């Protein structure tokens, strides 16, 4: 037996199981209680049990760099003077924003010129960029387009997603909490070999179906 406020909650209630919040057992116990205070406290307990048992989807997002707007090429050739667009893609189950920077490895001689995005943003991709998508999005999001001046002088090098100063990792904000961005992928410049450019596989979904996960 467990004491809760002015009433006594049986072990049957507390052990009823968190998967579906066995309301039958709770109603049965409640029917035997006359105290209004006890009923109010028990109702709060039911809500708490249900919230604890909610399933959570794997919501951590991922940031990846591409050299084409179709988001298929994760390599870049720097063989002569020109400007190049670099695309930052965010993929996740649900997402409302990101915070990160883009760092270059030794050997890259290109110079960053500008950032462009359809979403609200504060800062620069070269130091600390925070972006807000305005609503919860699912699947793949083309978050940012960066423009670089190339000179044809880069050695094998990378542009990569990095945490802003003071943070341990880039941040992907899902629609419920702040999470580290995982499985981030760089852009390879003037490097031989083949690279896996494909994003993490995600099933097509809608925000309605995502919300339904939290009602089960």
The widest CA-to-CA distance across the chain, in whole angstroms, is 84
Q: In terms of pLDDT, which residue wins out, 176 or 100?
A: 100
The answer on pLDDT for 47 being more than 80 is no
The pLDDT, as a whole number, for residue 33 is 52
Asked whether residue 42 falls in the same domain as residue 75, the answer is no
Question: For the chain, what is the mean pLDDT?
Answer: 77
With respect to residue 130, please indicate whether it lies within any of the assigned structural domains.
yes
Q: Are the C-beta atoms of 78 and 189 separated by less than 8 Å?
A: yes
Q: How confident is the model at residue 52 (pLDDT cuts 50, 70, 90)?
A: very low
Residue in this structure with the two tokens 């997603």, named with its chain if needed? 161
C-alpha span between 213 and 55 (Å, rounded)? 7
The pLDDT, as a whole number, for residue 5 is 36
C-alpha span between 150 and 112 (Å, rounded)? 9
DSSP symbol at 164: P
Domain that holds residue 131: 62-213
Asked whether residue 73 falls in the same domain as residue 92, the answer is yes
Asked whether residue 160 falls in the same domain as residue 81, the answer is yes
Tokens at 111, concatenated: 């110079």
pLDDT tens digit sequence for 102-118: 999 999 999 999 999 99
DSSP symbol at 185: B
With respect to residue 83, please indicate whether it lies within any of the assigned structural domains.
yes
With respect to residue 57, please indicate whether it lies within any of the assigned structural domains.
no
How many structural domains is the chain composed of?
2
């Amino acid at each position: 037996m467990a004491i809760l406020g002015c009433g006594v909650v049986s072990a049957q209630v507390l052990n009823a199981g968190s998967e579906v919040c066995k309301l039958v057992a709770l109603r049965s116990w409640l029917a035997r209680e006359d105290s209004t205070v006890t009923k109010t406290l028990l109702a709060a307990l039911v809500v708490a049990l249900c919230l604890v048992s909610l399933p959570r989807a794997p919501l951590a997002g991922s940031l990846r760099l591409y050299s084409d707007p179709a988001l298929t090429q994760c390599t870049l050739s720097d063989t002569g003077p020109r400007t190049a667009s670099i695309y930052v893609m965010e993929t996740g189950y649900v997402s409302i924003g990101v915070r990160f920077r883009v760092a270059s490895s030794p050997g890259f001689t290109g110079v960053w010129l500008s950032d462009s995005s359809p979403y609200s943003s504060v800062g620069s991709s070269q130091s600390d960029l925070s972006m807000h998508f305005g609503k919860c999005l699912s699947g793949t999001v083309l978050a940012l387009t960066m423009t670089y001046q190339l000179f044809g002088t880069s050695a094998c090098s990378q542009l990569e997603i990095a945490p802003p100063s003071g943070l341990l990792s880039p941040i992907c904000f899902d629609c419920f909490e702040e999470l580290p961005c995982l499985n981030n992928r760089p852009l390879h410049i003037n490097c031989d070999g083949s690279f896996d450019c494909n994003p993490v596989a995600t099933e097509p979904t809608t925000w309605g179906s995502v919300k339904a996960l939290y009602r089960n």
